[in-house]
Structure 1
Amino acid sequence: MTDQPDQAYREYVADRLPMLRRLAHLLCHDWHRADDLVQATLVRLYLHWARVAAATDRDAYVRRVLVRVFLSERRTGWARRVVLVDVAPDSPTTTDADPAAAVAVRTALAGLPPRQRAVLVLRFYADLSVDQTAEALRCSSGTVKSQTAKALASLRRALPDDEPATIRRGAGR
């Protein structure tokens, strides 16, 4: 690559890195794995930067790559070989109004299958439409809708009864 595309890549990454880390953390619930996901995503972006730079919506392209890296990691033997222990996650300081509710929601989200978790993160955290989420996951809009409904139902069942009603309703979407 010449210096101009490299500079454009560096500027894009510098601007979007915090957003990519947060999105990756929501998918995998571990800051170290999130960094690994982002790193693998950035390598793929660098290798195909001409295609990324030509995309009409770079952020959508990058989110799609990140989600695909996450889902493909979940399909490999790594996810079956590694035993995760039940310890408190290391996370940056939170500004949640109710930390206990936030922990309960994150715990319930972590219990979802990877594809359902990806649907919820893309729909409600990244604020993508049903069609944008379907495009990112390479599935139909109907699949996104059904996976969203199943994931929200699972979250409602997983949350304690004493959680605030607004959390149990799934943010009204």
Structure 2
Amino acid sequence: MTRPWETSLEQLVRERYPRLVAHATLVAGSRSDAQDLVQEALIAAFSGRARFASIAQAEAYVRRAIVSRSIDESRRRAREARVVGRVGAEPQRPVVVEERGPGADVVRALATLSPRERACVVLRQMEDLSVQETASVLALSHGAVKRYTSDGIARLDAALGTRTGPRSTSDVRLVQKDGGAR
């Protein structure tokens, strides 16, 4: 007899795994790290006492866990680099596998951002979350989300050779029901 959480986990993996890996790739910067992040987030989501009313709710929880774990991993690596620097040993260099395919340049550019910048840019620009939703997911203030997003986009523009200006506004003309303009 299967437990309800097992059915939910199987359905989530079957229906949403590719999207979760794509999300994690944008957050982590590499597909191999992304797959590890998704596995860790799924374990965290379904090994505890968390119960989800729907697959969408479970997916949202896993997405938040992916971002949190990515930030934690970046912090851990930074701490290790500082310790290695103090001891004088040579840090092991990670093996970099060239990402190919559509968007590979964007994934490489995202990898140059700080973890918080990357998380804010991915959630705001690619996942289309509001400032408030992003702040909630990352446990940041609204101002911090705006700042990290702005800084991240500026750095992406520099890395990609693009220019993202302020959002353009256009004049809006109100039309009365009888067809005349105001």
Which TM-score tier does this pair reach, normalised by the shorter chain? 0.7 to 0.9
In structure 2, distance between residues paired with 1:77 and 1:141: 27
Give the deviation of 1:29 after TM superposition.
Answer: 2.2
Return the index of the structure with the highest Cα Rg.
2
Code of the residue aligned with 1:69 in structure 2: it is R
In structure 1, stretches of 5+ residues that fail to align are: 95-101
Partner of 2:35: 35
Decide whether the 8 Å contact of 1:108 with 1:155 is kept in 2. Answer: yes
Decide whether the 8 Å contact of 1:60 with 1:136 is kept in 2. Answer: no
In structure 2, distance between residues paired with 1:85 and 1:8: 35
Give the deviation of 1:35 after TM superposition.
Answer: 0.8
1:88 has 2:98 as partner: yes
Partner of 2:159: 158
SS at structure 2 position matched to 1:53: coil
Give the deviation of 1:76 after TM superposition.
Answer: 1.1
Code of the residue aligned with 2:109 in structure 1: it is A
Q: How many residues align?
A: 157
Give the deviation of 1:106 after TM superposition.
Answer: 3.0
Which stretch has the larger CA shift, 111-120 or 79-88? 79-88
Partner of 1:98: none
**Normalised by the size of structure 2, how large is the TM-score?**
0.73
In structure 2, distance between residues paired with 1:65 and 1:82: 27
Q: Where in structure 1 do 4 or more consecutive aligned residues deviate above 4 Å?
A: 170-173
Relative CO higher for 1 or 2, CA cutoff 8 Å, sep ≥ 6? 1
Give the deviation of 1:136 after TM superposition.
Answer: 0.8
Note the alpha carbon deviations across 1:87-136, whole angstroms, 9 max, x for none. Answer: 522x5x43xxxxxxx44433322211111011111111111111111111
Give the deviation of 1:30 after TM superposition.
Answer: 1.6
Partner of 1:169: 164
Decide whether the 8 Å contact of 2:30 with 2:107 is kept in 1. Answer: no
In structure 1, distance between residues paired with 2:36 and 2:64: 16
RMSD: 2.8
Decide whether the 8 Å contact of 1:63 with 1:136 is kept in 2. Answer: no
Partner of 1:44: 44
**Normalised by the size of structure 1, how large is the TM-score?**
0.77
Code of the residue aligned with 2:24 in structure 1: it is A
In structure 2, distance between residues paired with 1:150 and 1:24: 21
Note the alpha carbon deviations across 1:51-90, whole angstroms, 9 max, x for none. Answer: 241488333322111101111111114874552356522x
Give the deviation of 1:6 after TM superposition.
Answer: 1.3
Give the deviation of 1:142 after TM superposition.
Answer: 1.1
Structure whose residues are more often helix by fraction: 1
In structure 2, distance between residues paired with 1:58 and 1:86: 32
Partner of 2:13: 13
